[in-house]
Amino acid sequence: MNTFKKHESSAPVGGSQQFLVEPRNLNLQLLLLLINFWVLSAFSALAQDHFDFTTSEDGGSIITGYEGPGGHVVVPNELGGNPVKEIARRAFNRVENLTSISIPDSIITIGDFAFNDCENLTSISIPDSVITIGDFAFYGCKSLTSTSIPESVTSIGDRAFGGCHNLAGFNVDSANPSYSSFDGVLFDREQTTIIRYPAGKVASHYSIGGNVSSIGDDAFTNSPNLTSITMGDSVISIGEAAFRYCPNLTNITIGKNVTSISQFAFADCESLTNLTIGEGVVAIGRSAFSRCTNLRTVTTPDSLKTIDESAFAHCFWLTSIIFPDGLNSIGNEAFFGCINLQRIYFAGDAPMISNELVTHSEPTIYYLPGTSGWTEPFAGLTTILWNPRILATEEVLGFQEGGFLDGKFRFTISGAPDVPVIVEACDNLANPDWEPIASVTMYSNGTAVFSDLDAVDPTGRFYRFRPQ
């Protein structure tokens, strides 16, 4: 602050008074300004020394590396006398001490892996000059909690925000021509493709809207809070690793219009117990359900044609599976490490097997009458004809196999020894509602006795068998 000193004047009474700044105070002020400028210039130069950069053909500077102390980092808008236009591939890769960053509005491109594995990065300000965010640009930024996508961004690369475990939501500028957000989820502009579900979102259930036709690669990967998914019939495609590493996802029904399940789509969903694959799925990709270690039941559709290698590898608790007529091929080691697999049922002809079908267990293969291509052994496994049927009117085990005994309707089933059979019943063949009513296991002589406690009038009741 300047110091003013009042000087008396010889002016007559009632005249004006003069206030003069002493020269020594003016000199002090100028000196302070010079020192201030020098400090700021020195600080700016020192800060710029933390950045490695090169010059592009158009005269802009490209940041290629950072070697500073971290914390909150302000990216300069100029380096080497040129505007900074790009943060290059891996420029801040694995800078562990980086906690937040401000990017100037001169930046146009954030390159591939630019901030990959910056595990302590909590916030980032993306200016409305940025057009491109590269592949894996913020992958593995585990502490990042939110991000805003400005109007200018027209390209977001693959898995750009993958592995951001605490990211609770995306906020996309409503004027953005390529992307949008709803309830914190990142979509394309038309909201027909889910690009990224925020891994830190606290909801346990998510319903995929009727407008969505595509689930992108890695879209739900590493979403620990999700326990269930509702997938509408509008969904046509499921991308690679779309639901991988969702550790608490227990049940999912795949929509009937999905035609293929990409590789690793549900891999490492260790809590998944029941799986229904919708009618329409033709192909199951490589390792699609690998390491779903608690998977116990799988329902496959009649449309299924191909199963790729390791599709169900390390599904430890899978004991049996039924494949439809029309399945053409199964990839190598599709059931690698399925240590409890006991029975594989095929409704059609023998499929083409690439090499080994199963390792670490020796399940039995069951096939239906009238099918072909089955050898003994097949793919190194024992094969048995599966043909359970109700016996005629002979006495078996001391009573009629078709009739009442002690008020219960009973009959005898004949089939392969030691095989469990599910008995289903319905009361109207015109509009059947088949209900499983019992599970019986064939005796070693190939027969089993079934009792229907609910059959008051067996003449109007119908039965069928299916594998367990």
What pLDDT sits at residue 7? 41
What DSSP assignment string belongs to 198-246?
-TT---SEEEE-TT--EE-TTTTTT-TT--EEEE-TT--EE-TTTTTT-
Residue 441 lies in a domain: yes
| Radius of gyration over every alpha carbon of the chain, rounded to an integer in angstroms | 35
Distance of CA 270 to the CA centre of its chain: 13
How far apart (Å, rounded) are the C-alpha atoms in residues 452 and 146? 59
Express each pLDDT in 308-317 by its tens digit: 999 999 999 9
Q: Which of 272, 274, 211 is nearest to 243 (CA)?
A: 272
- Whether residue 181 contacts residue 203, with contact meaning beta carbons closer than 8 Å, is answered with no
* Domain with 429 in it: 389-467
What pLDDT sits at residue 21? 47
Residue 395 lies in a domain: yes
List the chain residues with pLDDT less than 70.
1-48, 392-408, 456-459
Residue 396 lies in a domain: yes
Strands 343-346 and 320-323: parallel
How far apart (Å, rounded) are the C-alpha atoms in residues 311 and 265? 10
In the chain, the amino acid numbered 374 is W
The average confidence (pLDDT) of the chain is 86
Residue 298 lies in a domain: no
Q: What is the pTM of this model?
A: 0.79
Where residue 35 falls (left for φ over 0; alpha for ψ -120 to 50; beta otherwise) is alpha
- Whether residue 402 contacts residue 447, with contact meaning beta carbons closer than 8 Å, is answered with no
Q: Where are the alpha helices (DSSP H) in 224-359?
A: none
Residue 11 lies in a domain: no
Tokens coding 286 = 């490589």
Which H or E run includes 162? none
Number of H helices, E strands in the chain: 1, 42
What pLDDT sits at residue 125? 86
What is the number of structural domains in the chain? Answer: 1
Residue 124 lies in a domain: no
Question: Before 351, cis peptide (omega within 30)?
Answer: no
What pLDDT sits at residue 160? 95
Residue 120 lies in a domain: no
What pLDDT sits at residue 33? 52
How far apart (Å, rounded) are the C-alpha atoms in residues 127 and 153? 9
